[in-house]
Chains A and B, each alone.
Chain A
Amino acid sequence: MSLSASVRPLACIKQAIRQCRIERQQTRRYAVPATEAEYPSLQTRYPPPTPGFRPSQAIKQNRFETGLKKIPVVPPPRSTTKACPDPISILTNKQISVLDPTGARTRLFSPANPERVQPGDILVVRLRTGDPVSGTVLNIRQRHQPIDTAILLRNQLTRVGVEVWFKVYSPNVEGIEVVQRAVKRARRAKLYYMRQPRHDVGSVEGVVKQYLRQRSGGPLGSREANTGRKTGSKKGRK
């Protein structure tokens, strides 16, 4: 259009006049209301609803029989689901308070704790039924219930890779100690790549032995330093 306007200047005027005519017609159409004679079907048959009228309520009111005898309804008794909407957490919390009375282990794996165990750390797990197991944390499994929290440790025994899962709250686990934090935060939640030969850190026995030697005084099986916080403070001291 702009091209034609530049070539033929009068055509532009013609276009503008045409536009004006259309617009005038439009305004005229909007200004004139629909008369009865023109659109009888648009006329309202009933008076308009009063302000505050809600159709959804009107439907509910109609549903109850007006002419019939009213049937009394016994009110429902006290609801246990309302009183206790999440029984599973009640059950698990009660158990955790027995299995972990000090809350140390919960803190060791709580996401709110910046000092928590993270993949790549080296841990020693003391067991009630055997020798302590050490290894690098490959995976921390947090299922929908905290009581099912578990860790996967990887180590090498006689040059053979060994991986063991431990349920954190199992009564068999007497204590969990952090031997060494990961140098850098792992950028994966599951360090399964460490199973590959080129990423395998190998045996952590030396690190654990040195840690146990550095722990002053106490015998090897001491129960005092089995919480993450105490270990952290020790690490800070050295």
Chain B
Amino acid sequence: MPPRSGLTPFSLPPRFLCPSVPRSFTRTIRTIQPTPRTRTDRFNHGAGLPILGASKTAAFLRKEAMLPLRTGALAIKKGMTAIYDPATAKRTACTVLQLDRCQVTGHKRRDAHGYWAVQIGCGTIEARNVSRAERGNSAAQGVPLKRHVAEFRVKDAAGLPELGSIVTADLFQEGQFVDARADSRGMGFAGGMKRWGWSGQPASHGNSLSHRVMGSSGASQGSGSRVHPGKRMAGRMGGEQQTVQCLKVLRVDKENGIVVVHGAVPGPKKGIVKLQDAIKKPWPQVELSVGVSKMGSTAEALESTI
């Protein structure tokens, strides 16, 4: 064992050499109180320095250019049909969506929440089926109770409509492009062929009981004798949000809340679809107030009940 070096009473020099050193040896506990630790950051950032790439601020600024200027809308998928162009005789498959009592129920602000977003609710729900906390929240905002609520990111504060204003179908113009996102149909537990589109294995030529199996899940020693993360296998398929980009708006009917978009939209009928300006097309050249108004809002009715 090496000789111990440390401050023990016997290793001190004599008192006349260092009189300030206390000679009494008392055993103490360190402390139960948490020591105030100074947070040391490994990264070099500050007021005058450039923003670090991995920070939240940098992430926000990166996305800012792609964020739509206006809010979107929540629509109900009604089903598919076709539209003929009488001039060219071209038949276009389309999906019919309907907006129902789509209303601005909240704002997300950059200073308070870290991003700009419009909270939109649609439908309605009976008060007795809503928790007291949620009822209190919507009463504080002065908006009706909503069955479905979703957020739409916008670029800046100019894209936040007034609370309680109703989003109508004329938010979208005929001919503009939108992105539609919705929860796809749930397929349940699906095999690899259905879930990932594999071709499977031959039906004959000596194949035995492995027509639809996944086959090998990876190499042996070469890849570390393990299954790599993200290996495609059987499992739950569908029931997750899918986005279809750049769908053309074919028809808009403000009175009936109808928006007709080109092609298919994920999810079953009666599903809720989020519609917003397509991020891969130029923004529509319209005022920010188009399609969002307080007209028809029932917020005044709250005042009368209080």
Contacts and interface: CB of A to CB of B under 8 A. Distances in A.
B103 A83 contact: no
Nearest to B137: A71
Which range contains the number of A residues in contact with the other chain? 35 or more
Contact of B298 (A76, A87, A92): A76
Contact of B299 (A74, A80, A90): A74
Interface in A125-143: 128-129
B40 to A, nearest CB: 48
B84 interface: yes
Nearest to B100: A81
Interface in A70-91: 71-81, 83-84, 87-88, 90-91
B11 interface: no
A17 interface: no
Contact of A88 (B78, B124, B128, B299): B78
B96 A91 contact: yes
B130 to A, nearest CB: 9
Nearest to A78: B296
B89 A172 contact: yes
A76 B301 CA distance: 10
Interface in B73-110: 76, 78-79, 81-87, 89, 91, 96, 98-101, 103
A63 interface: yes
A99 B79 CA distance: 21
A98 interface: yes
A79 B302 contact: no
Interface stretch (B179-187, B196-204, B251-259): B251-259
Contacts of B306: 72
Given A88-B96, A98-B86, A170-B84, A76 B101 contact: yes
Contact of B144 (A77, A88, A92): A77
Contacts of A26: none
Nearest to B76: A81
B139 interface: yes
Contacts of A65: 132
A167 interface: yes
A78 B255 CA distance: 11
B305 interface: yes
Contacts of A95: 83-84
A8 interface: no
A73 B79 CA distance: 33
Given A74-B301, A88-B81, A80 B144 contact: no
B79 A88 contact: yes
Contact of A84 (B87, B135, B258): B258
Contacts of B87: 171
Contacts of B132: 65, 68, 71
Interface string B139-170: 10011110000000000000000001010000
Contacts of A60: 128
Nearest to A65: B132
B204 to A, nearest CB: 30
Nearest to B87: A171
B301 A75 contact: yes
Nearest to B296: A77
B81 A148 contact: yes
B207 to A, nearest CB: 34
B103 A80 contact: no
B304 to A, nearest CB: 9
A64 B253 CA distance: 40
10 contacts: A65-B132, A74-B138, A74-B142, A77-B103, A78-B101, A80-B100, A83-B255, A87-B96, A91-B260, A167-B91
Interface of B: 76, 78-79, 81-87, 89, 91, 96, 98-101, 103, 124, 127-128, 132, 135-136, 138-139, 142-145, 164, 166, 251, 253, 255-258, 260, 296-299, 301-302, 305-306
